[in-house]
A and B are shown apart, each in its own frame.
Chain A
Amino acid sequence: MPTPMKYIDEFRDPQLARKMLEEIGRKATRHWTIMEICGGQTHSIIRNGIDQLLPDTITLVHGPGCPVCVTPLESLERALALAGREEVIFTSFGDMLRVPGNARDLFMVRSAGGDVRIVFSPLDALQIARDNPAKEVVFFAVGFETTAPANAMAVYQAAREGIENFSVLVSQVMVPPAMRVILSSPGNTVQGFLAAGHVCAVMGYAEYEPVALEFGVPIVVTGFEPVDLLAGILKTVELLEEGKAEVANCYGRVVSREGNLFAQEIVKKVFEVNDRQWRGIGLIPRSGLGLREEFARFDAETKFHVTNIIAEESPLCMSGTVLQGLMKPDGCPAFAKECTPQHPLGATMVSSEGACAAYYKYHHHIL
């Protein structure tokens, strides 16, 4: 066995995972429905088959925490329009490239001659802008609270250095408003939440306390490795069994109650809260972030006048229902029929984190 990866392999220990599973089985005296908000957690659950191993008393539903999935069609169509422009180098995280717009994705724009580049960090996009002063570099700034500090720093730094050929197409969303939408839905079945560990690394978990109180649900901050996930599920079950609607932290090595204050400060300097469209779900008031007035010149949508581009989603796609945990992916009539990873109707079938893609990939043949 090679040297273990520190802070990863300890939390992938199959023995420990098995014990956790047994303990969950022992603690759960009745059926509970728990939602993992975060797409990264969905990915890990499905990839490791944790949902297959859980006792029948526990149902996991997959939440809307995948930025690739919830980025609205409108933003995507604007991205496609920008990426096709002669003067633009369009930069994006890798998995936005396959997300379908109405008729095209970013790969197709690239094959038609658009300069579309994958970056690992928003600062890489900024470097491309420094290196190409004659070009306009647009970065597709998608993400939840975890990615907001990175996206904010790129804009902040562009302003500080006066890099005026850089701009961002912002589709920045936040978890707590989405949780409220899910919990307020008349069809809601979710009784407890695993809160997204890396979102909480930035934001802390104090903001979940009022949600837990208001809706009477336990919320447990959880990491991403199998043992972390099972520890989070176990804690949620314990709280549910005890009837406690409180917030607990099972990801102490990465998450503190207050979060990362340095990151929050830059995010607040650059962005302000606004209303946001979520793909499949619709408009959620005060659920997103947009550039503040001082940074408005870095807004690609106004800079290139693409705000007039609007788009409508496929009526066949039920991704919104899936994202809110009201339906399992294979409950959708289009699942694995009109909608496959090769021909996705909605983004949940595209992103490797998307609940539908994860289901398609790991599940539907066996179950």
Chain B
Amino acid sequence: MCLAIPGRLLERAVENGLNMGTIDVNGSKTRACLEYVPDIKVGQYTIVHAGFALKIIDEEEAAESLKLWQELIESGAFDSDEELPSPESL
């Protein structure tokens, strides 16, 4: 369910009394309702589903997860040169 894609807020506008915004997704732009993320600032990333911004992406949390996972790798527990499983073996 629920395809939701991260995009960056480019600009805000009020339409029919609703807070709306233009969201950039890798160069394509879509309109989204910002009523559920009233604190969002231009330049911030949000998750967009069905034309609605649902959450401002937490930059620190994102970096934190990646760091944690990267550390897992660098802890050296595994052999990083090992080949990916080959299609033939599947």
Chain A residues with a Cβ under 8 A of chain B: 5-8, 10-11, 14-16, 18-20, 22-23, 26, 38-40, 52-53, 65-67, 93, 120-124, 130, 143-144, 146-147, 149-151, 153, 157, 160-161, 196, 198-199, 201-202, 224, 227, 231, 250, 252-255, 260, 262-263, 266, 353, 366
Are B64 and A252 in touch, CB under 8 angstroms? yes
Are A253 and B4 in touch, CB under 8 angstroms? no
Contact partner, A121, options B8, B33, B54, Cβ 8 Å: B33
B50 at the interface (CB under 8 A from A): yes
CB contact list, B23-47 vs A, under 8 A: 25-26, 30-33, 35-38, 45, 47
Complexed CA–CA distance, A13 and B54 (Å):
25
Chain B residues with a Cβ under 8 A of chain A: 1-6, 8, 16-18, 25-26, 30-33, 35-38, 45, 47, 49-52, 54-55, 57-59, 61-62, 64-66, 69-70, 72-73, 77-78, 80, 82, 84-85, 90
Q: How far is the CB of A133 from chain B (nearest CB, A)?
A: 15
Given contacts A19-B69, A40-B3, 17 further A-B contacts (CB under 8 A): A5-B25, A7-B6, A7-B62, A10-B66, A22-B78, A26-B77, A39-B1, A66-B1, A144-B1, A147-B1, A150-B33, A150-B49, A196-B2, A198-B47, A252-B62, A252-B64, A253-B58
Q: How far is the CB of A364 from chain B (nearest CB, A)?
A: 14
Complexed CA–CA distance, A337 and B5 (Å):
35
Are A143 and B65 in touch, CB under 8 angstroms? no
Q: How far is the CB of B18 from chain A (nearest CB, A)?
A: 6
Are A254 and B58 in touch, CB under 8 angstroms? yes
Q: How far is the CB of B74 from chain A (nearest CB, A)?
A: 9
Contacts of B6 in A (CB 8 A): 5-8
Are B51 and A121 in touch, CB under 8 angstroms? yes
